Amino acid sequence: MTKTSNQMWGGRFVAGPDAIMEAINASIGFDKRMARQDIEGSRAHAAMLAAQGILTNNDAETIREGLLTVLSEIEGGTFEFSTALEDIHMNVEARLKEIIGEPAGRLHTARSRNDQVATDFRLWVRDQMDAAIAGIEGLMRAFLGQAEAGAEWVMPGFTHLQTAQPVTWGHHMMAYVEMLSRDLSRFKDARARMNECPLGSAALAGTSFPIDRHATAAALGFDRPTANSLDGVSDRDFALEFLACSSICAMHLSRFAEELVIWSSAQFRFVRMSDRWSTGSSIMPQKRNPDAAELIRAKIGRIFGANVALMMVMKGLALTYSKDMQEDKEQVFDAADNLMLALAAMTGMVGDMTANRETMAKAAGAGFSTATDLADWLVRALGLPFRDAHHVTGTLVAKAEAKGCDLPDLSLAEMQAVHEGITEEVFGVLGVENSVRSRMSYGGTSPHRVKEQIARWKDVLK
């Protein structure tokens, strides 16, 4: 079968493309995901053309109605996508022509696929930013719920994954609320910055038709049109910012995922994942595997990969549009899908998990976790310089370690043998409950402070 030249741009072509040319060139396989945005953009464009007297009202209405028919065919799954028509823009227009005939050819007045794709993609990415914002807020609420339930529960705090000082479960949960709040504000910033409409930049230089770019921008929910047509068609910062925000968010998710993997292990048992979020082993009946947490931990790989990939695509591209830029979409689609999936799964897991209060409390007291409290007491009660107090405490830790016990298990006599000034009062600070209660500094782990933060965030998220 000999291919005829492209009906959209084939005027100066005699032969159709090689099959491989068609395969490398086509984006319809993935950009069909922007069908709704494409049709929305075209409807706004047609209405504006009519308002400006560039199209007749009749033609514009026929086009706008026809586009809705195309959309319902696509959404109903009856639309036949064609690779020969390259992309979503030309697939939609060709079908429009089949449905309404001649007026379809007038839709592309004062427009190019360059500003068209830039507009469609912005609309698509903007939706995903909104979805990410909603998803992050949902996850913040799940962490808040955990924090509220266990604002007073003690657990070991870690540095180097070594027991450091006792903290509260609520405090640990609220650390993620803080991280996620920064993700939220990053997405919101990026959304505000990207909300400019490239439509009407045309191929690259603008157009000689008397279009109203402010009208199309407003109709599509943008704050304003982009101010430079060359930049309008060749800017993909919005996609890169989406990927950068997504990467940092996915990095945060990966950190909690890792904690879940550790905490749900038989060695830790700090949390029990619900059946809904655990998987079994086909050979080892005792296993409850945290597969979802592991997959979330891994998602950062593809999401940050997409960020790097698109950076590389855009790097060194001379202005304005080059076909390289068609490579933007699959990266963003994949990253967005996986970020939303990870956010949803993490929200489900956090909402469903049960903290094992007793196990955490026991672990909180182990590993000499109140050594700092002892040193602080020596400073406060006996007036020792902190460095000396640190040394005395270190000696006491070594003594307890040699005895195979914890600090509160040493007798007063054993303590006084190291420093004669130590009194009975010291035992008051060696308990983990006292330890966390004493950390009243702003942002500290005391239940009192944690509850203040919970109240603050509940108010913000209500």
Point out which span in 278-286, 317-325, 334-342, 399-407 binds ligand ARG (CB under 6 A): 317-325
- Shortest Cβ 117–ligand ARG spacing (Å): 4
Find the binding residues for ligand ARG in span 86-115 (CB under 6 A).
87, 113-114
Interface with ligand ARG (CB under 6 A), residue from 46, 71, 85, 117? 117
- Shortest Cβ 315–ligand ARG spacing (Å): 17
What DSSP designation does 104 have?
G
Q: Which is nearer to ligand ARG, 31 or 259 (CB)?
A: 31
Q: Which is nearer to ligand ARG, 6 or 395 (CB)?
A: 6
DSSP 6-44: PTTTGGG-SS---HHHHHHH--HHHHGGGHHHHHHHHHH
Q: Which is nearer to ligand ARG, 16 or 351 (CB)?
A: 16
Angle at 384 between CA 381 and CA 389, to 5 degrees: 100
Query: Phi and psi of 79, rounded to 5°?
Result: -70, 135
- As a whole number of angstroms, the distance between CA 205 and CA 244 comes to 30
Counting every residue written for the chain, the total comes to 462
N-to-C CA span, the chain: 63
119 binds ligand ARG (CB under 6 A): no
Per 3-state DSSP, the chain is made up of helix, strand and coil in percentages (nearest 5) of 65, 5, 30
- Shortest Cβ 224–ligand ARG spacing (Å): 23
Enumerate the β-bridge partners of residue 355: 271
325 binds ligand ARG (CB under 6 A): yes
Cβ burial of 348 (10 Å; 0-12, 13-18, 19+) is middle
Q: Which is nearer to ligand ARG, 45 or 113 (CB)?
A: 113
Q: Which is nearer to ligand ARG, 92 or 349 (CB)?
A: 92
Long-range contacts of 155-161 (CB under 8 A, 24+ apart): 155/270, 155/355, 155/360, 155/361, 155/363, 155/364, 156/360, 156/363, 156/364, 156/366, 156/367, 156/369, 157/369, 157/445, 161/262
333 binds ligand ARG (CB under 6 A): no
Point out which span in 161-169, 312-320, 322-330, 428-436 binds ligand ARG (CB under 6 A): 322-330
392 binds ligand ARG (CB under 6 A): no
- Shortest Cβ 213–ligand ARG spacing (Å): 19
326 binds ligand ARG (CB under 6 A): yes
Q: Which is nearer to ligand ARG, 29 or 101 (CB)?
A: 29
Sequence-ordered alpha helix ranges (H) in 150-236? 169-194, 213-219, 229-234
- As a whole number of angstroms, the distance between CA 418 and CA 7 comes to 92
Q: In terms of DSSP bridges, do strands 162-168 and 154-159 run parallel, antiparallel, or are they unpaired? A: antiparallel
Q: In terms of DSSP bridges, do strands 224-225 and 196-197 run parallel, antiparallel, or are they unpaired? A: parallel
Q: Which is nearer to ligand ARG, 31 or 59 (CB)?
A: 31
Total residues in contact with ligand ARG, by rule CB under 6 A? 10
Interface with ligand ARG (CB under 6 A), residue from 143, 270, 321, 333? 321
- Shortest Cβ 239–ligand ARG spacing (Å): 12
Q: What are the residue numbers of the active site?
A: 160, 281
Nearest-CA neighbor of 396 among 386, 381, 406? 406
- Shortest Cβ 327–ligand ARG spacing (Å): 8
- Shortest Cβ 8–ligand ARG spacing (Å): 10
Find the binding residues for ligand ARG in span 2-31 (CB under 6 A).
27, 31
Q: Give me the residues that bind ligand ARG (CB under 6 A), please.
A: 27, 31, 87, 113-114, 117, 321, 323, 325-326
